[in-house]
Amino acid sequence: MSAQGKGAVEAAYHALEQCFWAGLSRAHWHSASGAVQGFLSAVPDATGFNQLYATAEAVPAEFDQVLAAFAAYPVDITLVLHQDAHQRLRERLAQLPVTAGDATTAMYCDLRQLRIAAPVAGASVQGPAAPLHDWAVPLGSAFADPQQPDDGGRFLSLYRDAHGCALDAGVPLQHWLLREQGEVRTSLTLTQLADTVRLDDIGTDPRHQRRGLAGMLVSEVLQQAREQGARWAVLEASGAGLGLYQRLGFQPLFEYRTLILQQH
């Protein structure tokens, strides 16, 4: 891909990132240039959902402008910094009480080169408007806290409600799931702007992981998006998901460095 083409995909990536997280937030702030975005989650006390994103162009003054908007809220903030922004902000970050989080990789796929995962016998896909109660089932493990097991269900319910509110507000979210033997095994969220789609909330019931279910769901959803005119797909991958997405044809776009800023 040319530098110009990569720049266009990266711009689409950030536009979708903003669309998704702003739709699920009770407050959203951004710097004048848009290089730094802040999202105050609609899910109270949800670790990792109060986020500050900084693109490659972010500078310290913009970072401080958006960070100041969080001052009225006693929440920890997840700083998600483009690898270039992380370097540029390193002196400012050294002044803050931050701890390192997990690195993630922004990825893209040219849907003309999508590799199709093998179907799983007996599994079927439902979407783009799967019932939110069913869609949320595979996400339960992501919200579970062994120390406070009841909180996982509360957070999941609030997160599901946030998706419902986003749909009511016209945010272009699609909800997809895969069933096997009548049970929901895996699910995801798709957001689309122009010819690019973004995948989020890709979750599989832990009892049924490593069986090809997520790969089947992702590839079928992206095939349908391609048939409806989408050219590109993007997502933010953890280290655990890299192998799956690479097998489907995704490539790295840039790296994110994640830090946790403790405010309370």
- 34: nearest Cα among 16, 20, 54: 54
How many beta carbons lie within 10 A of that of residue 28, not counting itself? Answer: 15
* Model pLDDT, residue 141: 67
Q: Decide: 209 and 185 in contact? Cβ < 8 Å.
A: no
Return the half-sphere exposure (C-beta side, CA atoms, 13 A cut-off) of residue 164: 13
Backbone angles phi, psi at 183, to 5 degrees: -105, 145
Strands 36-41 and 51-54 come out as antiparallel
pLDDT digits (tens, 9 = 90+) for 188-221: 999 999 999 999 999 999 888 888 999 999 999 9
**Residue 186 pLDDT exceeds 80:** yes
- Which residues are CB-neighbours of 12 under 8 A, at least 6 positions away? 193, 194, 196, 232, 234
Segment 219-245 shows an average pLDDT of 95
Helix H, strand E, coil C: the string for 159-201 is HHHHHHHHHHCCCCEEEEEEEECCEEEEEEEEEEECCEEEEEE
Select the more confidently predicted residue: 152 or 95: 95
**Confidence band of 244 (pLDDT split at 50, 70, 90):** very high
**Among the listed ranges 129-138, 150-159, 203-212, which one has the minimum average pLDDT value?**
150-159
Q: Quick one: 93 and 119 in the same domain?
A: no
Q: How many domains does the chain have?
A: 2
User: CA-to-CA distance for 79 and 99, rounded, in angstroms?
Assistant: 10
Select the more confidently predicted residue: 16 or 151: 16
Share of the chain above pLDDT 70, in %: 94
Q: Quick one: 43 and 66 in the same domain?
A: yes
Q: Quick one: 94 and 131 in the same domain?
A: no
pTM: 0.92
* Model pLDDT, residue 264: 65
* Model pLDDT, residue 6: 85
**Confidence band of 263 (pLDDT split at 50, 70, 90):** confident
Q: Quick one: 117 and 242 in the same domain?
A: yes
- Which residues are CB-neighbours of 237 under 8 A, at least 6 positions away? 104, 105, 106, 107, 245, 250
Q: Quick one: 240 and 202 in the same domain?
A: yes
Q: Decide: 188 and 201 in contact? Cβ < 8 Å.
A: yes
- Which residues are CB-neighbours of 4 under 8 A, at least 6 positions away? none
pLDDT digits (tens, 9 = 90+) for 40-54: 999 876 768 999 999
pLDDT digits (tens, 9 = 90+) for 57-90: 999 999 999 999 999 998 999 999 999 999 999 9
**Residue 237 pLDDT exceeds 80:** yes
Q: Quick one: 148 and 74 in the same domain?
A: no
Report the CATH number that the domain containing residue 194 is assigned in CATH. 3.40.630.30
Q: Quick one: 142 and 87 in the same domain?
A: no
Helix H, strand E, coil C: the string for 44-104 is CCCCCCCEEEECCCCCHHHHHHHHHHHHHCCCCEEEEEEHHHHHHCHHHHCCCCEEECCCE
* Model pLDDT, residue 147: 45
* Model pLDDT, residue 154: 81
- Which residues are CB-neighbours of 164 under 8 A, at least 6 positions away? 132
Bridge partners, residue 236, by sequence: 106
**Residue 149 pLDDT exceeds 50:** no
Q: Decide: 183 and 192 in contact? Cβ < 8 Å.
A: no
**Confidence band of 135 (pLDDT split at 50, 70, 90):** very high
Q: Quick one: 80 and 140 in the same domain?
A: no
Please report, as a single letter, which amino acid is at residue 183.
E
pLDDT digits (tens, 9 = 90+) for 8-37: 999 999 999 999 999 999 999 999 999 999
Q: Quick one: 87 and 148 in the same domain?
A: no
Q: Quick one: 55 and 175 in the same domain?
A: no
Q: Quick one: 130 and 225 in the same domain?
A: yes
Q: Quick one: 121 and 249 in the same domain?
A: yes
Residue span of the structural domain in which 63 resides: 3-105+255-261
Please report, as a single letter, which amino acid is at residue 192.
Q
